[in-house]
């Protein structure tokens, strides 16, 4: 039954991440359908990620009263409803509302599902969080191709109709698995949300330090990746888009193997090695110009940053007692996302102010390097919470 539940989670996370990455290839059809400009329809991308951030910390409180399995099931139902709303949307406002709800479903899902995986596999957290992450990453890689295929035969509404049907199907399967599981309500929720945070604030702060600046840099980098390669490297748009796909595709082995390594290696040194690799690859990107070299560096960037996520989840979850995982993990991911989401705006503002992309990315890489030094110093002096 545990395998059935985990398999259903992997299917559901594919749909969740598909839902929040599907809008990029749909922007042009939506512009035509509602006769709006790029700026207006571009708000949709912001709404889905804003929706992803909004429920994370509140969901940690909800999980002090509701079991993780039921919470995950509720997010599947919400994903179905949001997708259905988009299918019947007759105005841009309704589309925006559906998009926001879709983001809320995905954000709430991750807060409930990742601690649930740690509960199911306490001795192999990294491995299974990595597999789960690889399923999500697969959706990001395949979303453009799936959308293009659907648009060849039908309208943009068909994309969300398929998502709604799939979400309903997986929710039904999940409901059956949860009902039949003998341990469906095995975990005892910690009803003291603030007490859990007070007990583990140092761990939350450590995780935030490790991922905050790196995630901030990553958000600014990948959102401007195509523009950067075109403007700075002179790479054609089609090739630049392909290289961005390569960056995300590199996340598949990163999640798959990175999670396994997180189980086998000391957590903090492993995370520091990943961050160092990310810094080196970003700096290398600012120095190379040959398309082949950019390809190699793109793979390195994608692998290193996506390895960071299962490694951090493993570190944080392994250091938390099961009854406190929901509140502390929700706070960690919620605060992290709030910091990371500003990376795109920062890079856009700095480049508009006249600073070159290479200078901006180099400075951000230096900040990540400074974090590595700080964390390493705290680690060798025994001042970091232990996560194994």
**Contact by Cβ (8 Å): 143, 135:** no
What is the three-state SS of 110-137?
HHHHHHHHHHHCCCCHHHHHHHHHHHHH
Q: Which two tokens stand for residue 140?
A: 């990001």
pLDDT, tens digit, 9 for 90 and up, residues 102-152? 999 999 999 999 999 998 999 899 999 999 999 999 998 998 889 989 999
The CA-based angle 356-228-297, given to 5 degrees, is 110
Q: Which pTM value belongs to this model?
A: 0.87
**Contact by Cβ (8 Å): 92, 37:** no
pLDDT, tens digit, 9 for 90 and up, residues 295-347? 999 999 999 999 999 999 999 999 888 778 888 898 898 889 888 878 888 89
Q: Give the percent of the chain with pLDDT over 70.
A: 96
Closest CA relative to residue 286, chosen from 358, 355, 231, 370: 358
What structural domains does the chain harbor? Answer: 2-180 (1.20.1250.20), 193-380 (1.20.1250.20)
């Amino acid at each position: 039954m545990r395998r059935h539940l985990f398999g259903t989670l992997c299917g559901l996370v594919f749909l969740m991440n598909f839902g929040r990455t599907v809008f990029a290839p749909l922007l042009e059809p939506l512009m035509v359908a509602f006769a709006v400009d790029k700026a207006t329809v571009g708000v949709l991308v912001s709404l889905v990620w804003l929706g992803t951030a909004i429920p994370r910390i509140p969901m940690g409180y909800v999980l002090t009263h509701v079991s993780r399995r039921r919470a995950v099931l509720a997010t599947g139902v919400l994903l179905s409803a949001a997708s259905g709303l988009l299918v019947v949307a007759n105005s841009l406002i309704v589309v925006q509302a559906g998009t926001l709800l879709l983001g809320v479903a995905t954000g709430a899902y991750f807060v409930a599902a990742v601690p649930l995986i740690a509960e199911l596999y306490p001795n192999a957290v990294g491995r299974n969080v990595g597999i789960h992450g690889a399923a999500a990453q697969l959706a990001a890689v395949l979303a453009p191709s799936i959308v293009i295929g659907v648009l060849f035969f039908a309208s943009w509404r068909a994309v969300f109709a398929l998502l709604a049907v799939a979400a309903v199907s997986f929710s039904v399967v999940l409901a059956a698995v949860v009902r039949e599981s003998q341990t469906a309500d095995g975990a005892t929720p910690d009803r003291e949300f603030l007490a859990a945070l007070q007990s583990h604030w140092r761990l939350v702060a450590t995780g935030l330090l490790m991922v905050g600046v790196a995630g901030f840099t990553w958000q600014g980098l990948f959102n401007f990746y195509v523009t950067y390669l075109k403007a700075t490297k002179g790479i054609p748009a089609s090739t630049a888009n392909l290289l961005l796909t390569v960056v995300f595709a590199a996340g598949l082995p990163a999640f798959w193997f990175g999670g396994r390594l997180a189980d086998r290696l000391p957590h903090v040194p492993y995370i520091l090695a990943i961050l160092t690799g990310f810094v080196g690859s970003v700096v290398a990107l600012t120095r190379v110009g040959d398309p082949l070299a950019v390809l190699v560096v793109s793979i390195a960037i994608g692998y290193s940053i996506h390895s960071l996520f299962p490694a951090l989840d493993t570190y944080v979850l392994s250091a938390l007692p099961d009854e406190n995982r929901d509140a502390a993990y929700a706070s960690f991911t919620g605060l992290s996302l709030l910091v990371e989401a500003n990376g795109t705006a920062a890079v856009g503002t700095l480049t508009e102010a006249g600073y070159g992309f290479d200078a901006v990315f180099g400075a951000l890489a230096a900040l990540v390097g400074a974090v590595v030094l700080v964390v390493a110093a705290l680690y060798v002096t025994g001042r970091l919470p232990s996560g194994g």
